[in-house]
Amino acid sequence: MNKEEFYNHAHFVITALIAFTLPVCIHLTPPLIILLFINWIIEGNFSEKIFRLRYNRLFCPVISLYIFYFIGMFWTENKSSGWCDLQVKLSLLAFPLIFCSSKCFQSKHLEKILSAFIFGCVTGVVICLSSAICDFLISGEEHFTYMNFSLFLHPSYFSMYLNLAVIIIILKWLKFELMSEAKKIIYFS
């Protein structure tokens, strides 16, 4: 494996790990994003990356939201809160920069990344349901709704991730006839 293949593989693996940790372990996501950024920097090829950015039609519209947040810093009265907010939203700048300047994933890699996200969502639901069932059986308390149910994230984020996972599964079902029997059973369940 040469250097370029190593960095591409690392890019894919870290991206799949980010997709998995988003719904189930959000505290691992920022270090993985930093690791993805470090891999992007160490990879080099900045002239090639700048060339990709210049001709990528998605880059400017996607980072414009972060630019608007940054411009808003000139009008805010609470600068410390504003800078903290910009730091939290830094992924709105980092992800487009990394993904728009890197080589595109092959479809098989994209499928695996989406599957990692679905697996993360399923893992999160199983853990939350198990916890709620255990709480009900041990103490009689019902933790099947809202904040009591969602252990890892705010319930609105968790539900958004679950809805996205359902949409991904539905899109996979549209290609249902191309799947093996084992995959059909897994996606159906």
Per-residue pLDDT tens digits for 101-131: 888 788 888 889 999 999 999 999 999 888 8
- What is the reported pTM? 0.82
154: left (phi over 0), alpha (psi -120 to 50) or beta: beta
> Is the predicted pLDDT of residue 2 greater than 70, yes or no?
yes
Q: CA dihedral in degrees (136, 142, 143, 146; nearest 10)?
A: 160
Question: 164 vs 146, which has greater pLDDT?
Answer: 164
Distance separating alpha carbons of residues 122 and 56, to the nearest angstrom: 34
